[in-house]
Amino acid sequence: MGRSPCCEKEHTNKGAWSKEEDERLIAHIRTHGEGCWRSLPKAAGLLRCGKSCRLRWINYLRPDLKRGNFTDDEDHLIIKLHSLLGNKWSLIAGRLPGRTDNEIKNYWNTHIRRKLLSRGIDPSTHRAVSAISSDHNNKDKSSSSSNSEESSPSWRRRRQQQQQQRPLFRVPDLNLELRISQPFQESHDAADIQSKGMLCFVCSSRSKQCKCNISGGGGFLGLTTGALDYRSV
């Protein structure tokens, strides 16, 4: 049997969203709120798959989205978080207010990867390319290939194969267990956690239940401060 499709594909639009579709979706979510994506298209009068509506809203229409270029700070934060988390785009996006996982993923693939490569850093391992090539006894010389070659389809395929063959790089003895917290806050001392109802990174409790005696600064990547502050990275 298997699962039923998420929608009737014969009766749904695909491709770019029109202005009218956007307006319908926005209007529907304004009055009914997010959620129940499967039934939303019918209720909103859209010939779209529920998943498509969700993606359009989350990645493009949400009012709290920050459009425009990434700042240097955001750049650095993405690189640092990627070195810790790998391709966990949603977790990375959770630390960049107003940015979506899709946006960060695209930005990584189009800008940051190339930037790191041009600096001689392997974007998947965050190690110097020369170190990697010596690790592998020059087996994969193409990993230091020229930038002009890297974006070609054949280069992408080769690179995928290399990554499958290459042993995973692991940061030794790092406990990367993560807890969900609210996005980055300007300040994050214990008083803030209690007064603003933030989620404590240390004990995972909210507001007044938090008994962690945390003070600013110190700690790896600021994680021990209860909230990740990328400026400490």
Binding site for DNA (CB under 7 A): 1-4, 6, 9, 13-17, 35-39, 48-52, 54-56, 59-60, 87-91, 101-103, 105-107, 109-111, 114, 147-148, 151-152, 160
Shortest spacing between CB 193 and DNA, in angstroms: 23
Backbone angles phi and psi of 206, in degrees to 5: -100, 155
In the complex, least distance from residue 93 CB atom to DNA, rounded to whole angstroms: 7
- Closer residue to DNA (CB): 44 or 210: 44
Task: Compute the least distance from the CB of residue 195 to DNA, in Å.
Answer: 28
Could you tell me which residues come within 8 angstroms of residue 158 by beta carbon, excluding any fewer than 6 positions away? 142
CA end-to-end span of the chain, whole Å? 50
Task: Please identify, using beta-carbon distances, which residue of 61 and 233 lies nearer to DNA.
Answer: 61
Task: Give the span between the Cα atoms of 9 and 141, in whole angstroms.
Answer: 45
Q: Which is nearer to DNA, 114 or 206 (CB)?
A: 114
Output 62 or 189, the one with its CB closest to DNA. 62
Structural contact between residues 176 and 85, judged by C-beta atoms closer than 8 angstroms: yes
For DNA, which is the closer residue by CB, 65 or 128? 65
d(CA 148, CA 161): 19
Nearest distance, CB of residue 67 and DNA, angstroms? 8
Q: Report the 3 state secondary structure along 73-116.
A: HHHHHHHHHHHHHCCCHHHHHHCCCCCCHHHHHHHHHHHHHHHH
Report the largest interatomic distance among the alpha carbons of the chain, rounded to a whole angstrom.
61
Cβ 142 to DNA shortest distance, Å: 16
Tell me whether residue 22 or residue 189 sits nearer to DNA (CB atom).
22
Structural tokens at position 135:
């690790």
Contact (Cβ atoms closer than 8 angstroms) between residue 28 and residue 44:
yes
Structural contact between residues 93 and 101, judged by C-beta atoms closer than 8 angstroms:
yes
Minimum distance of DNA from residue 189's CB (angstroms): 28
